[in-house]
Amino acid sequence: LPEGQRIDKASRDSATMRDVAALAGVSFKTVSRVLNLEPSVRPMTEAAVTRAVAALGYRRNSAARSLRSGAHMASIGLVIADLANPLYGIMAKAVESVADREGSVVIIASTSERPQRERAIALNMLNRPVDGLILAPAGQDHRYLQLPRRLGTPVVFLDRPGGGVEADSVVLDNAGGSQEAVEHLIAQGHRRIGYIGDGRTLPSLRNRLDGYRLALAAAEIPYDPALVVLSSSRVELAEAAAAGILRASDPPTAIFADTNRTCIGVLHAVRASGRRIAIAAFDEFELADMLSVPITLVSFDAGELGRTAAELLFARLGGDNSAAREIVLPTRLIVYPGYEPQRVAVATA
């Protein structure tokens, strides 16, 4: 497992306990005593040592420390696609909370949805090493994890399944969730329903598209490619995509967005169009209930997702050797009717 980034020792000043001891005029064991706050050190000696430590800018070497003591700091790695996405923030918080309970710290990194960066970061973490890894993958090929897995490091995929390696995963019922949402739109009378999302790369998003198609098929509504724009999940691209199908000759009366990112783009496009378009989307977000337009969301408990993944990882670390599991968490449809504030006169002072 190479690829870890390291700081060359020479680049930092590294005085050792022996250097400090020499400057303070004591043995290096005495320095050790001072730094470990052991009681049996004369105040004068301690002062001399403290001064020498400061003078040399000495920092204890943790590797040597834990080498002899045989203890090591427990840590798990969390590699996620985008920390700035509130959903991942909630998941990260849940993971961190479980890890803390288990006496572990979380090393976290954001891949910006780039598979190559994901690979580099994951290998970097394993090289530190971390005790286990939770990965919300951007890529689909995780064969690079086969070796670490064989060497005993547990891996849990979060929110999105992994590929090419046997490992646990905790995911959502993506197809079921979007199918339910689209069925809801159909039940409201919509028959031309647009789809904005990224149904090409990530399996989880492909499944959401599958759900859309299933719902249409069940209602015997033909799949119209002109209503489906598979762009990336970036807000601006989704907005442009939605604007495009709204401008078309036979526009949709409803649009389904496959993530909270695409949903925001769709909301903006719909507003810009000046039309009333029904909107449904995967992912819940705060203030959905305060929007002026009605919206239907496929909601789920992001904290539960993170918590489940973390608990699974610690179970593995605790010795659970059973076969790799896939845990699928349910989604729940929430219908927000849209909030129209009353036009009451203000009681001005």
Q: Which helix (H) or strand (E) holds 330?
A: none
Q: How many chain residues interact with DNA (CB under 7 A)?
A: 28
Q: Rank residues 203 and 251 by Cβ distance to its own copies and give the closer one.
A: 251
Name residue, tokens 């670490």. 148
Residue 21 Cβ vs DNA, minimum distance, rounded to whole Å = 7
Would you give the binding string for its own copies spanning residues 224-263, x where CB under 8 A is met? Answer: ---------------------------x-x----------
Q: Closest by alpha carbon to 223, among 180, 188, 255, 192?
A: 192
Site for its own copies in 110-139 (CB under 8 A): 110, 112, 121, 124-125, 127-129
3-class DSSP state for residue 93? helix
Close Cβ partners of 281 (under 8 Å, ≥ 6 residues apart): 181, 256, 257, 258, 259, 260, 262, 263, 266, 295, 296, 297, 298
42 binds, among DNA, its own copies, none (CB under 5 to 8 A by kind): DNA
Near its own copies by CB under 8 A: residue from 114, 191, 234, 325: 191
Could you say which of DNA, its own copies, none residue 98 binds, taking C-beta under 5 to 8 angstroms by partner kind?
none
Among 192, 299, 324, 334, contact with its own copies (rule: CB under 8 A):
192
Q: Is 220 in the site for its own copies (CB under 8 A)?
A: no
Q: Of residues 41, 107, 243, 329, which one binds its own copies by CB under 8 A?
A: 107
**Identity of the residue numbered 127:** N
56 to 115, contacts with DNA by CB under 7 A? 60-61, 64-65, 67-70
The type of residue at 103 is: G
Token pair of 284 as six digits: 């819940």
Pick one of its own copies, DNA, none as the site partner of residue 96 (Cβ within 5 to 8 A by kind).
its own copies
Of residues 8-47, those binding DNA (CB under 7 A): 9, 14, 16-18, 26-30, 32-33, 35-36, 39-42, 44-45
Q: Which does 17 bind (CB under 5 to 8 A by kind): DNA, its own copies, none?
A: DNA
CB-based contact 1:126 (threshold 8 Å): yes
The tokens describing 189, both together, are 């009378």
CA pair distance 166, 162, nearest whole angstrom: 8
Closest by alpha carbon to 136, among 202, 233, 75, 210? 202
Please enumerate in sequence order all residues whose Cβ is within 8 A of that of 184, keeping only pairs 6 or more positions apart, or say none: 280, 296, 333, 335
49/255 with CB nearer DNA:
49
Determine which residue in the list 275, 328, 330, 337 makes contact with its own copies, applying CB under 8 A. Answer: 275
Q: Which does 191 bind (CB under 5 to 8 A by kind): DNA, its own copies, none?
A: its own copies
Q: What is the SS3 assignment for 282?
A: strand
**Checking DSSP bridges between strand 278-282 and strand 295-299, what pairing results, if any?**
parallel
Q: Of the candidates 226, 291, 324, 327, which one interacts with its own copies according to CB under 8 A?
A: 291
Q: Please tell me whether residue 187 adopts helix, strand or coil conformation.
A: helix
Binding site for DNA (CB under 7 A): 9, 14, 16-18, 26-30, 32-33, 35-36, 39-42, 44-45, 60-61, 64-65, 67-70
